[in-house]
Amino acid sequence: MEFYHLRTFLTVAEEGHLTRAAEKLMTSQPALSAQLRALEDEVGMKLFDRTSKGMVLTSAGKALQDQARRVVDAARDFRAQADSLRDTISGEMVLGLNNRPEILRLMEILHELTSNHPELRYEMLCGSSGVILQGLDEGSISIGFFEGECNNPKLTWHQVDTVELCLAAPVAWAEELSKPDWKKLEAKPWIFVSRMCSYFLAIQSICNEQGLNISPRFRVNECLTVLNLVADGLGVTLTSRNQIDSPDFKGRIVALPHFRASVPLCIGYQTARANDPAVAVVRDTVLRVWSTARKVPIPELEIIHEPASDGPPPTPRRVTTRPRTLNSNRRRS
């Protein structure tokens, strides 16, 4: 029995659905199914009933769930305690990445970590901010980057920068959409990100504020694919400004003038693991590398309304609460 079998078992039990569990663990559904079958073969009993509504624990699965959680937590605590007794820090860290490496300053961070702590190993998992936050909550991700606020009392987070958001469209549509006409934009095909992504929440705010009824043509949980769809003229989406300013998309995607917003870029981990030596060195390295990042208040979402034909445009209204502007925050239950 492998450690990851227990992690898979717990995630599927919590999600009740293979697709969502695979997304949270950042693996494929077939791989997840194979891991569950291997675990069931190992213990010699059925742990889940496969129903039309998802995965439901059997009585045996329910009886083993708490024990599996204790084993996973004990293994993590054992490694942390062992590391604290040695001069060197070792083990494997699972890093959650919600953006491109250059945006997260990942190479600078890894160069410093590998130089100062050569016995640490890393698994890097990419996903939306919502996926990263759920992985942190469950313990499948050791420490990770995410955008937006974190209201989870189990997690500690530190803001390292702000990310500017924009509506992105194919450059061929730039002239047609050069003025903030929301009804015209509503008629365009839209590309939505995962419901667990902070960008999806921003799109929901826009729809609620403008009274829009947008039906997405595509749903994608990976930013590069979203941007390639936009660049090829297949739809409109909401994304970060630094994504469309990259060389791959410059001249192919245009930022629309309909709204402006910024969200915090944060690094987070479980509060219970704050003193884990491996988590601590990664956290401190990230904060040190980002120490020159801007520390400015984050503006609220600002909607640009379509101007009335017989007068000046109205003053934009704020439609979301201001994110916290502290550079670090700890929430305890």
Residues 305 and 180 sit within 8 Å (Cβ to Cβ): yes
The CATH number of 1-85 is: 1.10.10.10
Q: Please give the single-letter amino acid code of residue 93.
A: M
Domain ranges of the chain: 1-85, 162-264+299-320
**CATH architecture classification, 162-264+299-320:** 3-Layer(aba) Sandwich (3.40)
What is the C-alpha separation between 283 and 253, in angstroms, rounded? 34
Query: For the chain, first and last CA: distance in Å?
Result: 33
Predicted confidence pLDDT, tens digits, the chain (333 residues)? 777 788 888 888 888 888 888 877 777 888 888 888 888 888 888 998 888 888 899 989 888 888 888 888 887 777 666 666 666 677 789 999 988 898 899 999 999 999 988 888 999 988 888 888 888 988 889 999 998 888 889 999 999 998 888 889 999 998 888 887 888 888 899 888 767 677 777 777 778 877 888 778 888 776 778 889 999 999 998 888 888 888 888 889 998 887 777 888 999 999 988 888 899 999 999 999 998 655 444 334 444 444 444 444 433 322 232 333 233 343 333
pTM of the model: 0.62
What value, to the nearest 5°, has the Cα angle with vertex 71 and ends 67 and 74? Answer: 130
What is the C-alpha separation between 316 and 137, in angstroms, rounded? 36
